Amino acid sequence: MLRLTSGIFALVVSFLAATTFDANAQNRGGVLSIALNPEPATLIMAMNLQAPTQTVAGKIYEGLIKFDFDLKPMPGLASSWSISSDGLTYTFKLQPGVKWHDGVAFTSEDVAFTLTKMLPETHPIARSTLSHIESVATPDPTTVIVKLKEPFGAFLTALAVNSAPMMPKHIYQNGDYRNNPANQKPIGTGPFKFQEWKRGEYIRLVRNDQYRIPNKPYLDGIIFKIIPDEAARVAALEKGEIDATSFTDVEFVDVDRLTSNPKLEVTRKGYEFFSPLAWIEINERNQPFADRRFRQALMYAIDRKFIANAIWFGSAKPATGPVASTTVFYAGDPKAYGFDLKKANALLDEMGLAKNSSGTRATVRLLVPAYGSSLTRLGEYLKQTLGKVGIDVTLETLDPGSWAQKVSNWDYEMSINYVFQLGHPAIGVARTYVSSNIRKIMFANTMGYSNPKVDELFARASDAPSDETARKLYADVQQVLIEDVPVAWLIEINFPTIFNKRVQDLIMTAHGINDGLESAYIKQ
């Protein structure tokens, strides 16, 4: 009788487990369709941080750490970690049984190679953040011991997929990273594998059946449809031809209307890690850009409230400096640059930039990346408002690849750009302003800005023994930068993700649509 009762109990447990599995199985399958614009230049995340690359490659590659909506670290490829009391030694245990998409085992050797060899050479952020590493030990295939030269409070943040995508040593160990044939077919450990890229039409990913989390991902695949026209993207979303849009896919004036669509859901969650800041990037190698009075005049000549309300239709707010108000260590606005044409003119007069007979003080070239009509209208507004103080702006609109090439090669005077904060000033802010990161690479210090005081403050803040000390140092560096105006900050963008309500668990972390989407499923 006891054996019979036990057997019946076991059958009940098995039935309940099977029922639960079947309930999940009902939602397994289907292909998620996501709008993509513009078309990325590459999918190799270790070499390119443009938004479209991250959106696709975030499903192919993984980092050691992920972050929740409160920017608290969660396991990624690292299942756990410990930090020594002096803050110098980080010991990571890796998830067991992880494989690269080609079937080769992912091990601690891949982590060491990524952190010490490949990323410091190819990645626009890693050169700065990973320079804190003194050594990386790999005592066994699932253990990584990282020793730092000095405490670096943002080190865990630096290990997210954006700033430290794990790369396969067996593919890239020969060192010719940019010309590697594997760049045409990226190989990661993520929940989805690259299948096909039909240029100008779509990129197709398929489920990684050997993914490290049992039964995930739920989707059979994801197709990224390249739709250059904004109206066509909105129409495709409303018709159900695509399931989701993000970032600048939808014209901001349409967001309120789409919010009332009963078939769609709009969320602002999933951008916490990025906290994007839009600005005018300024090449300071030549006059008049090298004179900070000219850069200060730009700040006074631009109405940032108008940009936020009339161009972004409330999906943005005026930026006050180099650190977004939505992130840690924001120190407020110690120097107010209100919209004041008189102050702008006074600074330009002080410089000796007299107006000619047509009222022009200087003619400048402004690059506008083709990331949607909002940036196009922003360029037109900047031309109009700067013209009021005698700065004649020539607009040059470029496709994302050509734009990135010009900016990274310092072949520009001014350029519209928006840059992610990446969870911590030591990761997403310092890279733009420290002189050690003046490099011909996108999202580095392409302006040529150099201030030893700024270098010192960022270095001391990143090594600070406490958050209280770091907060004071970051406040000090914000003051210096706001006075120097190495870039002309415009707005903090609050992007929407809009998706069909049949899609469930789409936005689950602070990385939003750029995350792996292993938990997303289509409701049957």
pLDDT at site 127: 79
- Specify the CATH number of the domain 61-172: 3.90.76.10
Structure token digits, residue 175: 């060192």
- Beta strand spans in 342-384 (E): 362-369
Residue 523's contacts (CB-CB under 8 Å, 6 or more residues apart) are 27, 501, 502, 503, 504
Q: Which residues of 113-135 are buried (b: 16+ CB within 10 A; e: fewer)?
A: bbbebbbbebbbbbbbbbebbee
pLDDT at site 175: 86
Q: What is the 3-state secondary structure (H, E, C) of 300-342?
A: HHCCHHHHHHHHCCCCEEECCCCCCCCCCCCCCCCCCCCCCHH
Tell me how far apart the alpha carbons of residues 107 and 100 are, in angstroms, rounded to a whole number: 10
**Cβ contact 304:338 at 8 Å:** no
**Cβ contact 171:46 at 8 Å:** no
Q: Which residues of 182-203 are buried (b: 16+ CB within 10 A; e: fewer)?
A: ebeebbbbbbbbbeebeeeebb
- Beta strand spans in 362-477 (E): 362-369, 391-398, 414-419
Q: What is the pLDDT along the chain (524 residues), one digit of tens a residue?
A: 333 333 433 434 343 444 444 445 558 999 999 999 989 989 999 999 888 999 999 999 999 999 999 999 999 999 999 999 999 999 999 999 999 999 999 999 999 999 999 999 998 788 788 999 999 999 999 999 999 999 998 999 999 999 999 999 999 999 899 999 999 999 999 999 999 999 999 999 999 999 999 999 999 999 999 999 999 999 999 999 999 999 989 989 999 899 999 999 999 999 999 999 999 999 999 999 999 999 999 999 999 999 999 999 989 999 999 999 988 899 876 667 999 999 999 999 999 999 999 999 999 999 999 888 899 999 999 999 999 999 999 999 999 889 999 999 999 999 999 999 999 999 999 999 999 999 998 899 999 999 999 999 999 999 888 889 999 999 999 999 999 999 999 999 999 999 999 999 999 999 999 999 999 999 98
pLDDT at site 5: 38
Q: Long-range contacts for 256-265 (Cβ within 8 Å, ≥24 apart)? A: 256/313, 258/234, 258/498, 263/238, 263/500, 263/501, 264/237, 264/238, 264/498, 264/499, 264/500, 264/501, 265/498, 265/499, 265/500, 265/501
pLDDT at site 312: 95
Dihedral pair phi/psi, residue 178, rounded to 5°: -75, -25
pLDDT at site 18: 41
- The domain limits of the chain are 31-38+190-270+496-522, 61-172, 277-493
pLDDT at site 11: 39
Give domain 31-38+190-270+496-522's CATH number out of 2.30.30.30, 3.40.30.10, 3.40.190.10, 1.10.540.10: 3.40.190.10
Residue 232's contacts (CB-CB under 8 Å, 6 or more residues apart) are none
Interhelix angle 292-301/467-484, nearest 10 degrees: 90
**Cβ contact 448:284 at 8 Å:** yes
Q: In what order do the strands lie in the sheet with 362-369?
A: 316-318, 487-493, 277-282, 414-419, 362-369, 391-398
Tell me how far apart the alpha carbons of residues 257 and 17 are, in angstroms, rounded to a whole number: 43
Name the maximum alpha-carbon separation found in the chain. 106
pLDDT at site 26: 57
Tell me the CATH class for 277-493.
Answer: alpha beta
Length in residues, the chain? 524
pLDDT at site 15: 39
